[in-house]
Amino acid sequence: MATDEESSLWLGELRVQIFDPRKESPSTSSGDASDTPSTAGRSQTFVSYGVRAETSLPHFSRSYMVTRKRFQDFVFLRNALVKDFPACTIPPLPDKHRIGYLTGDRFSPEFIQRRSMELQLFLERVCRHPTLQRAKIVQQFLESSEWHIDMHSYSGQSMGVSAGPHVQALPPPAHHGLLESMGDVFINAFARVRRPDPKFVAVRSELEEQEDRNLQLERVLLRNRTHVSDLSTDYHDMGHAFEQLAVLESGMAGGLQRVGAAMKSMAELETRFTSQVTDDLLTLVHAKQAFMQSHKALLKQRDAKQLDFEGLTDYLHTAVTERERLTGLSDAEGISEPGAVRGTGLRGYVRSTMDRMWGVDEEQARIERLQRLDGRISELQEAVQTAHTHAQAFNEHAELEHRVFELGRQHEDHQMLRLYVEGQVALQEQGLALWDELLKSLETPSHATDSDRSVEPAPPTSASV
C-alpha cells in the first residue's frame, strides 16, 4: 500500500483498457473515419486496438475517451516518452520481431490476444506513473481524433508535463561532442563506482533476486504445463479404455460410455484451462522481466552520473597536487631543482631535455604552467560542483522512480496471483459440474441395465391360476 507521502505524488487517476482488436486494411478503415481516426490511409493489412480511458486528472479535456490505435502508434508514444523523460523508467513494448512475424501468424487469434495483453500492461504502467500520466504526449495519444497529424507535427523537442506540485525538474544535461560522449560511454562501461550508495546497492541486489525468482517461476510454469499435458493424455487414454470396455460389457455399455466421455471431456478441460492460464502467466512473467531490465537501465544512468562526479574530482585533485608541486619548486634564488618543472618520469625527463635544447627558461615555464593550472582548477571546481548537483538530483529522482516501480510491481504480482487463482477456481468448478452430472446420470433409475430388467419376475398367467 502507498503511504500518504507517496499518494500525494498523484493528482488523479487514469484507467485504460485495450478492447476489440480487429484486423483491418486501408479499404475497411477508411469507411468509418470516426471509428478509426488514427489508422486510416496507412500501411497495408494491420491490427487496430480499441483504447478506452477514464480519468480524474484535471488537465484532460474530458473524463471518458475512446479511440483506436495500431502497434506503430504505441511505438511512437514510447519513443516520445523516452526522449522527453530520460530520467524515468519507461515501460518496454512487446518485441515486434518475434516468431509470429517470421511465420506469418501475426493475425492469429492467439497472437493478437497476447499482443493485446502486453499493450494493456504497457499502458497501465504509463498511466500509473505520477509523471508520465501527466505527459502531454499521453494526453494527445488518448484524446486526439487526428493522432496521425499530431505525430507528424511532433517536433522532437520535449513536450513536457502538465503542472503539478510534485514534478521534480532535473538539471539540464551538459552538451558534449560526439567523440567525447563516445569516450565517456566506453570508459564508464568498464569503470565502477568507488563509493557506492548503500541504498542503491540494496536496490540492485533486490532486483537481481527478483529476476532469479522470475526465472524460477517461468521454469515452474513450463514444467507444470508439461505435467498437465501428461495428465490430460492419461485422462483421454482412460476414457478411450472405458469406451472399449463398453463394447465387451454390453450390459453396462451405457454407463461405461458415459464415464469414457466424461474422462475425455475432463482431458479437454484440463488442457484448455491450463494452456490459457499458463500462457497468460508466462506473458506477464516475460513483461515483468523486461520491465526490470528497463529499471536497471535507469540505475546504470545513476551510476554514470556518479562516475562523472568521481572522475572530475580525480582530475581536480591531480591538478591541485601538480600546482602544489610546482609552487614548492621555487625558492628565493629561483628553481631549486633544475629539470623538475615538467614533472618526474620518462615523459618529464624527455620534455625537460627538449626545453634545455631549445633554451627554455624554467622559471618562466613554471610560472606559465601555474597560470594554466589556476585556470584549469577554476574550471574543474565549477564542473565538480555541477556534477555533484546532477548526481544528487538524479539520486533523489532514482529513489522516487524505485518507489513507483515497487508499487507497480506489487500491483502486477497481485494481478498474477488473481489470474492464477481465478483460473484454478473456474477449472475446478467446471470439473466438479462435469462429475456431478455424470453421477446423476449413473444414479438415475431410468438408466437401469438390460440385465437388471431380465431378472424381474414375470406376471402370472391364467394357466398358473
304 within some domain: yes
Instruction: Provide the strand spans (E) within 128-262.
Output: none
Q: Is residue 320 part of a domain?
A: yes
Split at pLDDT 50, 70, 90, the class of 33 is very low
Q: Is the pLDDT of residue 159 over 80?
A: no
Regarding whether 436 and 367 lie in a shared domain, the answer is yes
Q: Check whether residue 114 and residue 238 sit in a common domain.
A: no
Q: Domain range holding 99?
A: 14-21+47-145
Q: Give mean pLDDT, residues 82-96.
A: 89
Phi, psi of 175 (to 5 degrees): -95, 125
How many domains would you assign to the chain? 2
pLDDT of residue 2: 55
User: Greater confidence, 221 or 105?
Assistant: 221
Kind and range of the H or E run holding 99: helix 99-102
Residues 139, 266 within the same domain: no
Does residue 169 lie in a domain region? Answer: no
| 115 or 9, greater pLDDT | 115
Distances in Å between the alpha carbon of 131 and those of 90, 351, 401?
11, 56, 10
Domain boundary among 111, 145, 179: 145
Question: Mean per-residue pLDDT for 221-244?
Answer: 92
Q: What does the pLDDT read at residue 326?
A: 76
With a cut of 70, say whether residue 214 has pLDDT above it.
yes
Are 439 and 294 in a shared domain? yes
Residue after which a domain boundary falls, among 145, 169, 189: 145
- Both 214 and 127 in one domain: the answer is no
Buried b (16+ CB within 10 A) or exposed e, 331-362: eeeebeeebbbbeeeeeeeebbeebeeeeeeb
- Percent of the chain residues topping a pLDDT of 70: 72
Do the domain assignments include residue 119? yes
Determine the pLDDT at residue 342: 59
Q: Give the domain CATH number at 62.
A: 3.30.1520.10
pLDDT digits (tens, 9 = 90+) for 199-210: 999 999 999 999
Ramachandran assignment for 93, one of left (phi > 0), alpha (psi -120 to 50 degrees), beta (any other): beta
Q: 152 falls in which pLDDT band (50, 70, 90)?
A: confident
Report whether pLDDT(50) > 50. yes
Do 108 and 205 have their domain in common? no
Does the predicted model carry a pTM greater than 0.85? Answer: no
Q: Is residue 65 part of a domain?
A: yes
Q: Are residues 314 and 397 in the same domain?
A: yes
* Mean pLDDT computed over 274-295: 92
Which residues, in sequence order, are CB contacts of 117 under 8 Å at separation 6+?
A: 18, 280, 283, 284
What does pLDDT average to over the chain?
Answer: 80
In a domain, 183, yes or no: no
Q: What is the CATH number of the domain that holds 228?
A: 1.20.1270.60
In this predicted structure, the answer to whether residue 281 has a pLDDT above a threshold of 90 is: yes
pLDDT greater than 90 at residue 321: no
